Amino acid sequence: MGQALGTLEELPQEYRDQLTAAGVAPLWPMMRNVLPHDAPMPITKPGFWRYDEARPLLMRAGELTPVEKAERRVLVLSDPGRGAGAMQATASIYLGLQLLLPGETAPNHVHTPSAARIVVEGEGGYTTVDGEKLPMEEGDGILTPGGEWHEHGHDGDEPVVWLDALDLPVFYYLEGSYAREGDLQSPRNRPDASQVEYLASGLAPTRKRSEAARRYPMVRYPWVRTQQALREMLRYAAHGFAELDYVNPETGADALPTIGFTAGMMAAGASVTPPMRSSSAAIHIISGRGKTTVNGETFTWGPKDTFSVPVFAEVSHQADEEAFLIKVHDRPLQEKLGYYEERD
């Protein structure tokens, strides 16, 4: 595999014309593009989206476009490697900042891609998933898995913004991405499962043998509990850094089939150099300030900012003050495909 392969230009033109007419093409001139040596050659470039810059544009969108005309009032976070308008933050992850104003609703719908919402700001918003009404508080993670009906609403007085994270690029590439709309749901008259069945880790409802847990038994991950758990973890963690994965409380598996979510905390002054990973990621800052260098490019971040990390990137983090973050990544998909890898 070390030797140079033949090029298309080395072939006679009349032969190339015959190939085109037959609808075939030689593999060898293209093989290194799809099977490079030792590591992939990603199109994705490190991206950085400063919330202070995006927020005024999002609020302006609220003035310019009624939600009825937008259906989803979202500003897409486009990968710099693919250019403005790209519906990808990395090869497999879509990100968008969504705005819901007081009194607005987003209709009940279901789609094939799975999604999660990380609440960025505001109070009074909610998402209803399969009849379960979920309050949306800052930092909360809300799952809307593929195939689950969901809708959004806003009973508060101030704008609500959340970060959408979807495996949309995967479904789009497979030509399997679509959505349907339905009638508004009737929420069940009780709190969501994170406040009842799964209030404490390590505990799950007792069921009869004939009863089966739902595929997604808990779809809200309250930030107040996540932050408290991270603080306890950090007390005993080395190097001033702690992480917790969002998992299915019944099985311990990743919260969604193709997208993973990991909450992290860095003590003030902590430095972290994670291994190079085959997975791509997007990191959203809940609070705190610091800097991250990705493949030689440094981002100085603050609360509510977001940046992306391509596959096999060299990464280092520095916290100038105590910082909390949530990482969205495609490790679950790669593990299912059997090729997730870490390198020192």
The secondary structure element, H or E, covering residue 291 is: strand 290-294
* pLDDT, tens digit only, all 344 positions of the chain: 557 889 999 999 999 999 999 999 999 999 999 999 999 999 999 999 999 999 999 999 999 999 888 888 999 999 999 999 999 999 999 999 999 999 999 889 999 999 999 999 999 999 999 999 999 999 999 999 999 999 999 999 999 999 999 999 999 999 999 999 999 898 888 899 999 999 999 999 998 877 787 899 999 999 999 999 999 999 999 889 999 999 999 999 999 999 999 999 999 999 999 999 999 999 999 999 999 999 999 999 999 999 999 999 999 999 999 999 999 999 999 999 999 999 99
Look at the chain and count its residues. 344
The predicted pLDDT at position 277 comes to 98
For each of the domains in the chain, give its residue range(s) and CATH number, in order of start: 48-204+215-343 (2.60.120.10)
C-alpha to C-alpha distances, 136 to 40, 114, 192, 271, nearest whole angstrom: 38, 18, 11, 32
Q: pTM, whole model, 2 decimals? A: 0.95
Nearest to 230 by CA among 240, 248, 245, 243: 243
Half-sphere exposure of 57 (CA within 13 A, CB side): 13
Buried/exposed 265-287: b ≥16 CB within 10 Å, e otherwise = bbbeebebebeebbbbbbbbbbb
Per-position DSSP letters for 23-83, written without gaps between them: T---STTTHHHHS-SSS---S----EE-HHHHHHHHHHHHHHS-HHHHSS-EEE---TTT-
At 224, which amino acid appears? V
Q: In sequence order, what are the residues at sequence separation of 6 or more whose Cβ sits closer than 8 angstroms to the Cβ of residue 263? A: 226, 227, 230, 243, 244, 246, 324, 325, 326, 327
